[in-house]
Amino acid sequence: MDFEIKFKGSYSILNVFLDFGEKIIAEPGSMISIRGDVEISTSTRGVLKALKRALLGGENFFLNTYTSKSNSVISLAPRLPGDIEVVEVKNSLLVQSTSFLAAQETIDIDTKFGGFKSFFAGEGFFLIKLNGYGQAAISSFGAIYKIELESGEKITVDTGHIVAFDETMNYSIRTFGNIKSTLLGGEGLVCDFTGPGRIYIQTRNYPDFIRWIRTVVPKQTGSK
């Protein structure tokens, strides 16, 4: 199995090259095109885990599995405009709910609660948990870049800019600043990380973008 990212840095797509018998698990609705003989099956991959993905992580209840019956190519794209990165999963990788795109079948997909829900910030922090060993494709809103922390090294990241990180890191969620800065300064939740491990960060903030759209969309008055 090989991966190729096209148009990297803007509206990226992922090409997955499969040999006979190989499988790739992907987010429903992400398929652009298929070349070759490919069998598609849709399943929950565990009912309880699927319920957690749907109710807590905001993900689809079902996942698609593509099984190649010949040498084939599957093209996939994420929901949001941005970048794609293919990463090695080594034991456990935590991915924000909008950023999972695809994974090898050797990887188990579950959901984890990453921290409290802030009354003032109005944000939750639920994560898709990828367990096992293999490759997975993650996507971002905007560009994506990786930071590697050494043991004991620290970094603070706004939760809206987090794409994925290794579970080897210690992390904690908190509000940024005091109540005044949270309410008036436009800041919400941040995550404090302590290495060792990798963290993938996106250059744009999806929750903030949605909030901005709401401010410019005309509000309905109820009259015609």
Tens digits of residue pLDDT in 69-92 = 999 999 999 988 999 999 999 989
Q: Are 186 and 149 in contact (CB under 8 A)?
A: no
Closest to 69 in 3D by CA, of 1, 18, 20, 15? 20
- Of 8-12, 34-38, 43-47, 168-172, highest mean pLDDT: 34-38
Burial group, residue 65, by CB count within 10 angstroms (0-12, 13-18, 19+)? middle
Of the options 3.30.360.10, 3.60.160.10, 2.30.30.30, 3.40.50.10680, the CATH number for the domain spanning 2-214: 3.60.160.10
Burial group, residue 76, by CB count within 10 angstroms (0-12, 13-18, 19+)? buried
* Secondary structure element (H or E) that encloses residue 55, with its range: helix 47-55
Model-wide pTM > 0.85: no
Query: 15-29, 41-55, 73-87, 149-163: lowest mean pLDDT where?
Result: 41-55
User: Tell me, what's the pLDDT at 125?
Assistant: 54
* Ranges of each domain in the chain: 2-214
Q: Are 25 and 89 in contact (CB under 8 A)?
A: no
Tens digits of residue pLDDT in 159-211 = 889 999 999 999 988 887 654 444 444 457 888 999 999 999 999 987 787 87
Tens digits of residue pLDDT in 106-145 = 999 887 765 444 333 344 456 888 999 999 999 999 999 9
